[in-house]
Chain A
């Protein structure tokens, strides 16, 4: 009889001794130190597209790639023709301080850029061009607090991709454009007229 009364206590003790896993939180396997994965910055290698403000038969806006005429080997001779280019250039919105085309583009070959000191620069290095004037933003970008990123925070585990300046700031009109917000909250207390 005495054994029976003590059985629950004995069972509880046995459970405490053998049944439970380690109460301390278990960690993941340590990440091995090794070669870091790369940070890849998107590089736009071509000039942009000029909007003609016309629509094709499907209603899609017609754009003309700038390097159609301004590339190193223009496929058409519009660039040299007089009068014709005006229609295209009206569509080019230039709202970037007091800058003009030649400040950044080579006057002969528009696909080639140059720094303020005249040093030629490939299109892929355009970020250096931006950094001449926007050093603070470039520093912040370089340290990860501007411009965003995708992929891995831990480069030991995977790569990261990053935007280029011109992915968010159109080089000819770089001010960030207003947007409509998405995903409004629908908390019940915000919309009491809808009831519970």
Chain B
């Protein structure tokens, strides 16, 4: 067969096309090991039907069984009608024991090696409120007479800057006031971590390592399901508990009763009494984030 200019051009065109195609599908070669096809094709949380969600929850339960050898129950509890959650913390009686941080760590299936928790407790000099000079890894008896202690966690802001910056709408505010993250939608860009003025968001650098016997099997899709590596997470007011009427784990762990949780829409609730009768403030009020997490003092 004679080599013609037409054949040469055809050959060159075919080669170019094949190269372009290979280049176009190159991202698939970098397919993360922990991503299944079902997860890739999953719709946004707000577009999922009940059937879709049931399949997803079953998939997560199976994945946890395969990876951690533990049977867990993952649910997707919905907001309770006419409930608006609020949280208040009494700085006069917080002793800085960090039991709230520990309870969060255990309740929410955090990575054991890093002691991760959604709560940081700042130790600061009495008479100051200088967060930059606060220490979180103090290692001495508490409370020290010249210090006070301020646990900081997600403030579930009504004007959340973290939600505003998310490029893929993987985080949003729920009708009951909780700012949630869809771990299966988050791309891990960490914009929200940078935007949060309370340092309340955490990034999963690695998949959490937890001994099977320590895994909390009562899990929620938007809360304490075991998160994959590469996604953001944050305090969700223990929504897998609180949307069933239970108190958050950090409150139950507090030995002094410094924490008050409840329904802001209920005028007879404990949280409303605190807001109406105590000296209450919010952190960094000037930023206009409108937190639902309040601090207060006794007389």
Contacts and interface: CB of A to CB of B under 8 A. Distances in A.
A148 B260 CA distance: 8
B213 interface: no
Given A144-B273, A149-B251, A176 B117 contact: no
Contacts of B242: 153
A21 interface: yes
B115 A146 contact: no
Nearest to A26: B78
Range for the number of chain A residues in contact with chain B: 35 or more
Interface in A158-196: 158, 160, 163, 168, 176, 178-187, 190-191
Nearest to B274: A145
B136 interface: yes
A50 to B, nearest CB: 24
Contacts of B50: 21
A78 interface: no
Interface residues of B, number: 66
A150 interface: yes
B137 interface: yes
Contacts of B55: none
Interface stretch (B20-28, B41-49, B186-194): B41-49
Contacts of A31: 80-81, 245
Contact of A157 (B99, B245, B270, B298): B245
Interface in B56-110: 77-83, 88, 90, 93, 95-99, 101-102, 105
Interface of A: 20-21, 23, 25-28, 30-31, 136, 140-141, 143-154, 156-158, 160, 163, 168, 176, 178-187, 190-191
Nearest to B259: A148
Given A153-B246, A181-B142, A27 B95 contact: no
10 contacts: A23-B47, A25-B174, A28-B79, A144-B274, A145-B88, A157-B246, A181-B98, A185-B101, A190-B136, A190-B137
Contact of B256 (A21, A28, A148, A158): A148
A21 B138 contact: no
B48 A25 contact: no
Contacts of A146: 90, 93, 256-257
Contacts of B43: 20
A182 B47 contact: no
A187 B113 CA distance: 10
A87 to B, nearest CB: 30
Nearest to A184: B137
